[in-house]
Amino acid sequence: MTDELPGGLPELRASDADREKVAEVLRDALAEGRLDMEEFEERLEATYKARTYKELAPITRDLPAAGVTAPAPTVSMVKQPAGAVGAGDWPGRIVGGEGTSQWGVAIMSGFERKGRWTMPRRFNSFAFWGGGVIDLREANFADGEVVVNCVAIMGGIQVIVPPGVEVVVRGIGIMGGFDHREEGVPGDPGAPRVIVTGFAFWGGVGVERKVTKAERLRLKEERRLEKLERKAARQEELEETRRRALEGTDAWDHPDSLDHRDSLDEARSIHRDAMEQHREMLREHREERHEERRARRERRDRD
């Protein structure tokens, strides 16, 4: 018999699947702007540390989800309609109007346009011994075709666009240059077209295609889950191989028998599987260290 907690929730142990459902709700809340990055990281850490429903329930209590249903040993979370426009919902991001900001200037200083803002039909930017960032990953657009005009004199301007947007670069550089690497990539149906133009003298204008931090974190979580599934499958195969090898141990009394040779093959297979698992763990460790270094660089750049 289970003890009932306040609110009618049983004191049941949470499974990995329960914790992942809560983590999915947190990722959606981050993408919709309901949580900032710091609060998301705190709640995600608490999710993976939680052992019971009592510890899981408060994590998403103030988010648009159905909560925990007792007494079934699952966390029932139902996604609500997104309050913010998704990265691929292009018709909803072309909103018309004049835009929330028309220009940016950096003279021996810097400027940023990022986050939730509306890109006008034409945005003018100027950098002299300074730098600017025009980030369109979470922006809405005043029109289906927008122009980013960049003038960089002994300075630099960085234009960041989300995946799915077509980019055309028409700038002129004198002892400077414009980045053309993102040209030629077809845009998604209904996605806006971004034209980067202007002039660079002893300076540069960079164009980069990147996903948002929330999307990158979501992809990282997906990769982590895929790795866990592969590990579990490999472990299951390894255990089955060991079991078959142990069942054939009586063949060792007859070295020349077919069963003996089969047992040797099984032993070699176990060794190969163990070595492959070890190499995979090393690869994953290197990938995790690479992700950590990249996150530290991003934090340093942000600070």
Q: How do residues 9-30 score in pLDDT, each as one tens digit?
A: 456 788 877 888 888 888 888 8
SS3 171: coil
DSSP 51-74: -BHHHHGGGGTTSSS----SSSSS
Domain ranges of the chain: 1-86, 90-209, 213-302
Q: How do residues 156-213 score in pLDDT, each as one tens digit?
A: 999 999 988 999 999 999 988 898 988 888 888 889 999 999 999 999 999 999 887 7
CA–CA gap between residue 164 and residue 181 (Å, rounded): 15
Residue 240 to residues 97, 234, 243, 247, Cα–Cα distance (Å): 64, 10, 5, 11
Q: Is the confidence at residue 60, as pLDDT, over 80?
A: yes
Whether 205 and 198 have beta carbons less than 8 Å apart is answered as: yes
CA–CA gap between residue 106 and residue 205 (Å, rounded): 14
CA–CA–CA angle 135, 197, 91 (5° rounding) = 50
Q: Which residues are bridge partners to 174 per DSSP?
A: 201
Residues above pLDDT 70, as percent of the chain:
76
pTM of the predicted model over 0.75: no
Q: Is the confidence at residue 253, as pLDDT, over 60?
A: no
Q: How do residues 157-168 score in pLDDT, each as one tens digit?
A: 999 999 889 999
pLDDT average, residue stretch 125-147: 93
Q: Which two tokens stand for residue 157?
A: 């301007």
pLDDT average, residue stretch 139-150: 93
Q: How do residues 281-295 score in pLDDT, each as one tens digit?
A: 777 777 777 777 877
